A and B are shown apart, each in its own frame.
Chain A
Amino acid sequence: MNAVAASDVAQTSEFIAEPYQPEGPTVIDCDVKKIFYGDFLAVRDSVVPVEKHKITAFIGPSGCGKSTVLRSLNRMNDLIPVFRFEGNVIYHGQDIYASNVDPVVVRRYIGMVFQQPNPFSMSIYDNVAFGLKLNKFRGDYDEKVQTALERAALWKEVKDKLKNSGLSLSGGQQQRLCIARAIATEPDVLLMDEPCSALDPIATRQVEELMLELRERFTVGLVTHNMQQATRVGDTTAFFSVDISKSGRTGYLVEMGPTRQVFDDPKEDLTKEYVRGEFS
């Protein structure tokens, strides 16, 4: 055994980021101890507070676990049978991983927009009204649907074809439809998992502007592998990296702070290298 290498290993695998002390009130206090997929340790030791009415950006190289952490915030990962979460995610004083919490309820309060646009194969109207019907909303559906589509900056384009299938729209429009669908029920938090990765630059710009508007009403968690996007819309940024020292590739939080500080004055060398574009 090479003694130097061994000490390196010890150093990186024990590294735990200094916890970020948020300035404002938080909505979700996420404390990941370990996340497993089967035997594979995907993420370890990451404390990520999500602040109210702010956009928390998750950045880092591929496989660093940023998506995994985001998806743990509304128990989407529970769909994967071998997924195992150790730690706690406190949302309004309640650990969402407590045994008495139904993941279905968590997902109604914490909405999600996915990497690939995934409208349902039903009309545009029905897509947006889906969550309203699901929550047995009694009231003016037309108004709620219109408001959601307006907030998603899609109303003007689709107001004359609400009966058309959601799948007949272009990719960028589909993604905004998915955002409208997610915000129609006015969830507390909106999680966005690389929402622009399948979009062209114009649609990306529209969705980014949308995020900034949504921040006024909701709290947003955003995974992106586009660093410019994080600087454009992120209020706080959490930088994750991968730890290849052990048998698997385990992701962990390296640094978290206000976006400007993370990008302009990072505390960790690894962050510095990443934001300079030295690896990705």
Chain B
Amino acid sequence: MATNPFQKADSASSITRPPSGGERGTDSVFRGIAYACAGIIVLLVIAILWELGKQALPAMSEYGLGFWYGTTWDVNKEVFGVLPEIWGTLYSSLLALLLGGVFGIAIAIFLTQDFIHQKLALVFRTIVELLAAIPSVVYGLWGIYVLIPVIRPVADWLHTNLGWFPLFGTDLSGPGLAPAALVLAIMILPTVAAISVDAFRRIPYKVKEAAYGMGTTKWEAILKVMLPTASSGILAALVLGFGRALGETMALAMLIGNANQISLSLFAPANTLASLLASSFPEAGAVEVQALMYAALVLLLITFIVNVAGLAVQQYTVRKFEGKQ
């Protein structure tokens, strides 16, 4: 036990004492566990990258950068390219982010800005969060049996009447980008909504007072003060939602149509990296597996870049609006 330099200060009546050896021990054990947990996470990420890179190495040396912009995936000719999948991944995720983002933020505003009673808001929030508990395959089935039949007449009408517009350029044959993006939007909604709700909740009451004190109407207070104040938290919500959309597999494999093509049309079938992996792996031979590993690496990289970029934007807003260094 460390010596106590203040021993002389001890009087008979004082009950202060230095922490015992055991207490110091607990302290260092706890610190050790915390460091270990953090370290394991880092090691895990490195291990995944390492293994993926090792498996993908043959394909990487074989196809090189051409893999990124190749547009065919032909096992028999051993020609592999993932541009359509990259396109499909980003396009479907962006559409989902647009829809899910708008709805998620709107829900967050509705739940936090005194539109409904607090207790009712809690019930609402729980229901929204329950959406996250529905298995992905159920979303896929729901998409096939409910959503596609529902949107088909709308899609047909749009295509017939506004077919000149690139977004409505093709017929909805069944699975396609539109149902996939809609389901994806619903799937990321709870993430966006829950984190945005927290961002709004974190705003101190005094900010709301300041806004109303300036004579804002409710909407002016929300749009001009609350939204900018919550912006860094909302951005974090959007980044997380986008990340989820990029990696979502099962529902998309069921709904997107797995067609190796690049089209602007919302109703055309497409493919994503994750659904390519899911649908090709079971029957893949040795060479295709290497290509799939490369595709997985591409997906990981895209996700990584999106997250880092999102984080950078978020940090920027924190610095700009909140003046923190």
Interface residues of A (CB under 8 A from B): 74, 76, 79, 104-109, 111-112, 114, 116, 118-123, 130-131, 133-135, 164-169, 178, 181-182
A155 to chain B, nearest CB (A): 19
> Is there an interface contact between A107 and B214, defined as CB atoms closer than 8 Å?
yes
Set of chain A residues within 8 Å of B320, measured between Cβ atoms: 123, 165
Neighbour of B210 across the interface among A105, A114, A135, A164, CB < 8 A:
A114
Q: Across the two chains, which residue of chain A brings its CB closest to B117?
A: A81
> Is there an interface contact between B220 and A165, defined as CB atoms closer than 8 Å?
no
> Is there an interface contact between B212 and A114, defined as CB atoms closer than 8 Å?
no
Set of chain B residues within 8 Å of A109, measured between Cβ atoms: 215
CA distance A204 to B151 in the complex (A): 64
Please provide the 6 A-B residue pairs with the shortest distance between their CB atoms, ordered closest to farther.
A168-B323, A165-B323, A108-B215, A107-B215, A118-B210, A112-B213
B284 to chain A, nearest CB (A): 51
Interface residues of B (CB under 8 A from A): 204, 206-217, 220, 224-225, 228-229, 319-324
> Is there an interface contact between A130 and B212, defined as CB atoms closer than 8 Å?
no
Neighbour of A120 across the interface among B207, B215, B220, CB < 8 A:
B207
B232 to chain A, nearest CB (A): 9
CA distance A165 to B207 in the complex (A): 15
Set of chain A residues within 8 Å of B229, measured between Cβ atoms: 120-121
> Is there an interface contact between B321 and A131, defined as CB atoms closer than 8 Å?
no
A133 to chain B, nearest CB (A): 8
A124 to chain B, nearest CB (A): 9
Set of chain B residues within 8 Å of A112, measured between Cβ atoms: 213
Q: Across the two chains, which residue of chain A brings its CB closest to B230?
A: A121
> Is there an interface contact between B228 and A131, defined as CB atoms closer than 8 Å?
no
B112 to chain A, nearest CB (A): 15
Set of chain B residues within 8 Å of A106, measured between Cβ atoms: 215
What are 8 residue pairs bridging A and B, where the CB atoms are less than 8 Å apart in the complex?
A74-B213, A109-B215, A114-B206, A114-B210, A118-B210, A166-B323, A167-B323, A169-B323
CA distance A169 to B216 in the complex (A): 24
Set of chain B residues within 8 Å of A121, measured between Cβ atoms: 207, 228-229, 321-323
Neighbour of B212 across the interface among A107, A123, A131, A178, CB < 8 A:
A107
> Is there an interface contact between A120 and B322, defined as CB atoms closer than 8 Å?
no
> Is there an interface contact between A122 and B321, defined as CB atoms closer than 8 Å?
yes
Set of chain B residues within 8 Å of A130, measured between Cβ atoms: 214, 224
Max chain A CB contacts within 10 Å: which of B206, B207, B210?
Answer: B210
> Is there an interface contact between B209 and A118, defined as CB atoms closer than 8 Å?
yes
A152 to chain B, nearest CB (A): 15
A158 to chain B, nearest CB (A): 12
Set of chain A residues within 8 Å of B321, measured between Cβ atoms: 121-122, 165, 167
> Is there an interface contact between B217 and A114, defined as CB atoms closer than 8 Å?
no
> Is there an interface contact between B206 and A131, defined as CB atoms closer than 8 Å?
no
Max chain A CB contacts within 10 Å: which of B207, B215, B229, B319?
Answer: B215
> Is there an interface contact between B228 and A118, defined as CB atoms closer than 8 Å?
no
Set of chain B residues within 8 Å of A166, measured between Cβ atoms: 323
B226 to chain A, nearest CB (A): 10
Set of chain A residues within 8 Å of B217, measured between Cβ atoms: 104
> Is there an interface contact between A79 and B209, defined as CB atoms closer than 8 Å?
yes
Q: Across the two chains, which residue of chain B brings its CB closest to A75?
A: B212
CA distance A106 to B214 in the complex (A): 10
A114 to chain B, nearest CB (A): 6
CA distance A109 to B212 in the complex (A): 12
> Is there an interface contact between B210 and A131, defined as CB atoms closer than 8 Å?
no
A167 to chain B, nearest CB (A): 4
> Is there an interface contact between A118 and B214, defined as CB atoms closer than 8 Å?
no
Set of chain B residues within 8 Å of A131, measured between Cβ atoms: 214-215
Q: Across the two chains, which residue of chain B brings its CB closest to A191?
A: B213
Set of chain B residues within 8 Å of A168, measured between Cβ atoms: 323-324
A74 to chain B, nearest CB (A): 8
CA distance A133 to B320 in the complex (A): 20
> Is there an interface contact between A118 and B206, defined as CB atoms closer than 8 Å?
yes
* With contact pairs A121-B321, A164-B323 given, residues A114 and B213 touching in the complex (Cβ less than 8 Å): yes
> Is there an interface contact between A79 and B206, defined as CB atoms closer than 8 Å?
no
A161 to chain B, nearest CB (A): 10
> Is there an interface contact between A76 and B323, defined as CB atoms closer than 8 Å?
no
Set of chain B residues within 8 Å of A107, measured between Cβ atoms: 212-215
